[in-house]
Structure 1
Amino acid sequence: MDRNIFKILKTVLAVFLLVGMTACKSDRDEDSPFNGLEESYTINRFNVLNIAANVSGKMTWSIKDSIISEGSELDFISPYIKTYPLTLKIDQNGKVKTYQSTIIVNKEPGSYSKYVSNVLDFRPAVGQFTNEIPEYMVGDTSSSMLQKAKGSLVGSNTSMISLGGFGGYVVLGFDHTIPNMNGRDFKILGNAFWGNNANEPRSGSCEPGIIMVAYDRNKNGKPDDNEWYEIAGSEYFKNTTVKNYSITYFKPNENKPPVPGNEPWQADIEYVKWQDNLGNTGFKTKNGFHDHSFYPLWISDASYGFSGTKIQNNYYDQSGNGSYWVGKSYDFGYADNAPNNDEASNIDISWAVDKNGKYVKLPGIDFVKVHTAVNQEAGWLGEVSTEVAGAYDLYIK
């Protein structure tokens, strides 16, 4: 009996000590001291400085009176040679502690290019300019066509590539991180232009492309799948926009007899068959202005496809008789949607959203992806296809 009582007392004592130790540990964790910020931090322009507080509580990071982050970590970047006063306030259950530091931004060694420095991927959809810009030569492969896209888009002396119909895309890279500052941060070049309709001055030839951006957070030199975010343009939250739209194009038999349409330019109205994930099917028309294959000749597969956000068709027949088609410009947030000298072709990184449509706070971006945003044919003009002629950082002069 005494032995049993001794065992019970021993167990109770052990539990009591364990609870006490846990409570003390919890108290220590809750009140664990923060070593504070360093006296100063030094970083080069266009590089991201990461500071982690590693302590519980509500964080407020600010430069002077401007709050720049409310997370447990700060990602700071600047395109300016400047010294910034940094303040961190930590609120732990109503008890606020304030820490001060400075961030010194220096000129980077060497120099960065404001323009595209690399093209990481190029896969156009079916289109009348596919195999033409850039030009396909017999024996070309995906790799050699990618090199041709690089030759067109890298640097300041650029030419144009066509992405074809819906989904066709190109992925661009820069030699530095384009910072996410107040206002618009980078420009994408295309071949859009305004027409002569006084009632709709912001219309003409606009072939909008969806823009995706990626920040190379893990610094592996490539855009990983979980690093892509979509620029939410003016149409993103409208019910006319389709998220996760998919389309498949089927390789045509170039030797089959064409099925001409009623118009002289309709060389084959049943040229390239397509189907989408909404149950729609149709054909891409081959027009009489281009007698080459509209299907990428370096792709040997019998079909290939694309997925992404699709926005509402923007072309309409202004003439009423099929002679004059006009593409309306959307308000903001798309490539090849406004002339290159118009601010509407400038993009704000702060428009980026995650796959659930929630805005994200990126310090900057290292990669840009553009894909054709509509699945439409505009009469004798052919398919609506986004063209890209380069891109550049608006902060490097």
Structure 2
Amino acid sequence: MDNTIFKIIKTMLVIFLLIEVTACKSDRDEESPFKGLDASYSVNRFKVLNIAANVSGKMTWSIKDSIISEGSELDFISPYAKTYPLTLKIENNGSVKTYQSTIIVNKETGSYSKYIANVLDFRPAVGQFTNEIPEYITGNNAASMLQKARESLVGSNSTMVSLGGFGGYVVFGFDHTIPNMNGRDFKILGNAFWGNNANDPRSGSCEPGIIMVAYDKNKNGKPDDGEWYEIAGSEYFKNTTIKNYSITYFKPNETKPPVPGSEPWQTDIEYIKWQDNLGNNGFKTKNAFHDHSFFPLWISDASYSLSGTKMQNNFYDQSGNGSYWVGKSFDFGYADNAPNNDEASNIDISWAVDKTGKYVKLPGIDFVKVYTGINQEAGWLGEVSTEVAGAYDLYIK
């Protein structure tokens, strides 16, 4: 055989063997056995502990007899300083392996506040209390109005902000992650109240706001980790609820002659033009009880749009002659929907759903967005507008 050809064949065989050895080594690496859990893990209260198994198979993570996750990773959080027995079961190709560990939750150094720690965004819709709660002063801009919302809502001595009509919102955060435990986890304060009607005890003045929540996975103090999740309250799955509703408000000409209505309180029934994405349009009425602008005066644009989930109207004229309007409370899951001293104003993080309406398992939440979820004028009472008067973690006493 020619010496040159022999050398070529020999070189090709060496290359082939190297490829086979490398491939086999790679396969062995991928199939390396799970090394097991650490003997114990330590984490402070209100901090999320992440444990990744990085192995194929069906995972079941449990504390005693309670399954806490079935994902490939465990995100664990607790508000209690105690030790938890952790079990991981991995089922793969008909075999089941069990691993044991413990999670030690320590009391943190320092202390957290149970109340709102920061307000990150504030954009009310048009309304009779817009420019009043908080108060707009000539020269204020979006940043200064955000600061006023912050001064209203942060801490234990919170007051209140009004979100105006449909879509008006506020976004706030906490100085820690509120854990997603069994039961309700946090409370949002408003100014809702129930009347004394024995036949309809949950009626009074309730202006329900949609609640969105987010988890600060990258721990940078900003709600920029991706998707916000809606708290699916009692109305979420009903056919009377409209998802992806959008409304546009147009800046009014404050110098135009008003068009009074038939009622003494109707100062201008063609005050602020609006239109929605369903083809509806009309005007928001200016009433005689507020003589300032109902359009946010720090917004210089000729119009602005707000969107979200819209629920059915909840106010009705109980008197029949327009003199007594009543706002019904929905069953659960909304802001400004129940009295502050009632457990009905408490919210369960487990009610959170993704954009498709599927329930999600969040370890906890760091941020909350509340927006007015109804587009209704309740006679002389004016627009249905959610008010937020604070919020707090139910686990910090």
TM-score w.r.t. length of structure 1: 0.95
Runs of 5+ consecutive residues of structure 1 not aligned to the other structure: none
Matched letter for residue 383 of structure 2? E
Residues in 2 aligned to 1:4 and 1:47: alpha-carbon distance in whole angstroms: 67
Matched letter for residue 29 of structure 1? E
Secondary structure of 2:258's counterpart equals coil
Matched letter for residue 107 of structure 2? K
Alignment of 1:291-370 (within 5 A): 291-370=291-370
Alignment of 1:233-272 (within 5 A): 233-272=233-272
Secondary structure of 2:134's counterpart equals coil
Residues in 2 aligned to 1:41 and 1:374: alpha-carbon distance in whole angstroms: 46
Alignment of 1:274-289 (within 5 A): 274-289=274-289
Residues in 2 aligned to 1:338 and 1:88: alpha-carbon distance in whole angstroms: 41
Secondary structure of 1:91's counterpart equals strand
Secondary structure of 2:190's counterpart equals coil
Secondary structure of 2:299's counterpart equals coil
Partner of 1:229: 229
Secondary structure of 1:350's counterpart equals helix
- Answer whether contact 1:46 1:179 (CA < 8 A) is retained: yes
Residues in 1 aligned to 2:26 and 2:159: alpha-carbon distance in whole angstroms: 64
Size of the alignment, in residue pairs?
Answer: 396
Residues in 2 aligned to 1:200 and 1:308: alpha-carbon distance in whole angstroms: 29
Matched letter for residue 306 of structure 1? L
TM-superposed CA distance for 1:6, in Å, is 11
- Answer whether contact 1:215 1:227 (CA < 8 A) is retained: no
Distance 1:138 1:21, change over 3 A: closer
Residues in 2 aligned to 1:209 and 1:5: alpha-carbon distance in whole angstroms: 82
Residues in 2 aligned to 1:225 and 1:167: alpha-carbon distance in whole angstroms: 22
Residues in 1 aligned to 2:256 and 2:9: alpha-carbon distance in whole angstroms: 92
Partner of 2:212: 212
Residues in 1 aligned to 2:19 and 2:225: alpha-carbon distance in whole angstroms: 45
Alignment of 1:101-112 (within 5 A): 101-112=101-112
Establish whether residue 203 from structure 1 lines up as the match of residue 199 from structure 2: no
Matched letter for residue 300 of structure 2? S
TM-superposed CA distance for 1:290, in Å, is 0.5
Partner of 1:188: 188
Deviation track 1:304-329 (CA, whole Å, cap 9, x = no partner) reads 11011111111111111000111111
TM-superposed CA distance for 1:29, in Å, is 2.5
- Answer whether contact 1:246 1:308 (CA < 8 A) is retained: yes
Residues in 2 aligned to 1:198 and 1:26: alpha-carbon distance in whole angstroms: 72
Partner of 1:44: 44
Secondary structure of 1:137's counterpart equals coil
TM-superposed CA distance for 1:35, in Å, is 1.6
- Answer whether contact 2:215 2:225 (CA < 8 A) is retained: no
Partner of 1:76: 76
Deviation track 1:112-142 (CA, whole Å, cap 9, x = no partner) reads 0000011001000000000001011111111
Residues in 2 aligned to 1:89 and 1:362: alpha-carbon distance in whole angstroms: 21
Residues in 1 aligned to 2:13 and 2:282: alpha-carbon distance in whole angstroms: 77
Secondary structure of 1:322's counterpart equals coil
TM-superposed CA distance for 1:26, in Å, is 3.5
Secondary structure of 2:137's counterpart equals coil
Secondary structure of 2:85's counterpart equals strand
Matched letter for residue 211 of structure 2? I
Establish whether residue 29 from structure 1 lines up as the match of residue 34 from structure 2: no
Residues in 2 aligned to 1:276 and 1:374: alpha-carbon distance in whole angstroms: 13
Secondary structure of 1:148's counterpart equals helix
Partner of 2:386: 386
Residues in 2 aligned to 1:251 and 1:142: alpha-carbon distance in whole angstroms: 16
Residues in 1 aligned to 2:24 and 2:92: alpha-carbon distance in whole angstroms: 18
Matched letter for residue 304 of structure 2? Y
Partner of 2:175: 175
Secondary structure of 1:150's counterpart equals helix
- Answer whether contact 1:335 1:386 (CA < 8 A) is retained: yes
- Answer whether contact 1:167 1:308 (CA < 8 A) is retained: yes
Residues in 2 aligned to 1:6 and 1:90: alpha-carbon distance in whole angstroms: 51
Deviating more after overlay: 16-25 vs 91-100: 16-25
Residues in 2 aligned to 1:144 and 1:21: alpha-carbon distance in whole angstroms: 63
Residues in 1 aligned to 2:94 and 2:25: alpha-carbon distance in whole angstroms: 21
- Answer whether contact 2:115 2:174 (CA < 8 A) is retained: yes
TM-score w.r.t. length of structure 2: 0.95
TM-superposed CA distance for 1:56, in Å, is 1.1
Residues in 2 aligned to 1:284 and 1:101: alpha-carbon distance in whole angstroms: 61
Deviating more after overlay: 376-385 vs 239-248: 239-248
Distance 1:253 1:225, change over 3 A: farther
Residues in 2 aligned to 1:219 and 1:374: alpha-carbon distance in whole angstroms: 33
Runs of 5+ consecutive residues of structure 2 not aligned to the other structure: none
The 4+ residue runs of structure 1 with deviation greater than 6 A are 1-17
Residues in 1 aligned to 2:10 and 2:359: alpha-carbon distance in whole angstroms: 58
Residues in 1 aligned to 2:155 and 2:72: alpha-carbon distance in whole angstroms: 38
Distance 1:85 1:133, change over 3 A: same
TM-superposed CA distance for 1:91, in Å, is 1.3
Deviation track 1:266-315 (CA, whole Å, cap 9, x = no partner) reads 00000000000000001110000001000011111110110111111111
Residues in 1 aligned to 2:66 and 2:317: alpha-carbon distance in whole angstroms: 49
Matched letter for residue 340 of structure 2? N
Residues in 2 aligned to 1:102 and 1:124: alpha-carbon distance in whole angstroms: 47
Deviating more after overlay: 124-133 vs 8-17: 8-17
Secondary structure of 1:178's counterpart equals strand
